[in-house]
Amino acid sequence: MEFQDEANEVASRIRVFAASQLRTQYPYMKTATLEDMLDHATDVISSGICNQPVNTEMLEAQSRTNFFSLSAELRSKVYELTCEQDVVDLKEQRRFSKGLLDVCQQIRREALLMWYSSNTFTFEILTFCADQDGSHYIKKWIDSFGVDALRSLTKVKIVVESFVSAPTFLAWQFDTDDRHKPNDETVHEALLRIYGLNDGLVPAKTFSITWIEDDALTQKSVEVYTASGISGDTVP
């Protein structure tokens, strides 16, 4: 729609409203007088919108309208629809890249927080022997995140695959743990601490540790503590 047409449409809507108000307030006013007043008012409004410098100012303001003129709630919804992937496998996708969301630093920063908070991140580690527990891979991954990203995380799933049983795997972890063990530390918190994940930036409940079980026909995943016959909430 042309700018002149938009101005005329707005003026017409104002005329309808004004006519209703005037007729209610002054029911005995002559129709011809009322129409003359409304015609004059409509012309003033329409020409006032279209005449310089108002027209120029409005067009310039329209040209400056951008993504940040949207409310924070609406921007968050756009980020959510764009960034939500349900599960992000970190062996396939280590970096956030969403095309147009990368063109502006502020947009990327806001979108990154939504990416971290709306998805489940999975990290797979392979363990073959007691001195190769895979924890250094997780520490390296965490170090690459940064503090803001860590605080935004809501779900991180660590998938462990090993040639040994789940109880043996846990025994390997705790046998090599020579750091101080707080008295109120649970098994889950202790394992996260060994992996360098229990530093206070992210709640322990954010992380789940899953064990891959193989049998003759299928492969299934269960919580590592369940596979070991214990509770992760147990305090040693």
pLDDT at residue 114, as a whole number: 82
Shared domain check, 81 and 43:
no
> Angle CA(207)–CA(212)–CA(215) in degrees, nearest 5?
160
Listed as own residue / partner, the contacts of 187-195 with beta carbons closer than 8 Å and 24 or more positions apart are: 187/225, 187/230, 187/231, 187/232, 187/233, 187/234, 187/235, 187/236, 188/225, 188/232, 188/233, 190/236, 191/232, 194/135, 195/135, 195/138, 195/139, 195/158
Name the domain boundary from 38, 64, 90.
Answer: 64
- 177 within some domain: yes
pLDDT at residue 99, as a whole number: 62
Shared domain check, 210 and 144:
yes
Name the domain boundary from 11, 44, 64.
Answer: 64
Q: What are 158's two structure tokens?
A: 């660590």
Low pLDDT (below 70) residues in the chain:
1-3, 52-65, 85, 90-103, 127-135, 137, 146, 176-183, 213-219, 236
Shared domain check, 208 and 98:
yes
Shared domain check, 209 and 131:
yes
Shared domain check, 223 and 157:
yes
> Angle CA(189)–CA(193)–CA(196) in degrees, nearest 5?
140
pLDDT at residue 210, as a whole number: 87
Shared domain check, 117 and 30:
no
pLDDT at residue 179, as a whole number: 56
pLDDT at residue 182, as a whole number: 58
Domain limits at 126? 68-227
Shared domain check, 183 and 73:
yes
Rounded-to-integer distance, Cα 138 and Cα 188, Å: 15
Q: Are the C-beta atoms of residues 218 and 167 closer than 8 Å to each other?
A: no
Beta bridge partners of 126: 161
pTM of the model: 0.60
Q: What are 18's two structure tokens?
A: 């004004």
Name the domain boundary from 64, 83, 115.
Answer: 64
pLDDT at residue 91, as a whole number: 66
Smallest CA-to-CA distance from 136 within 224, 204, 195 is with 195
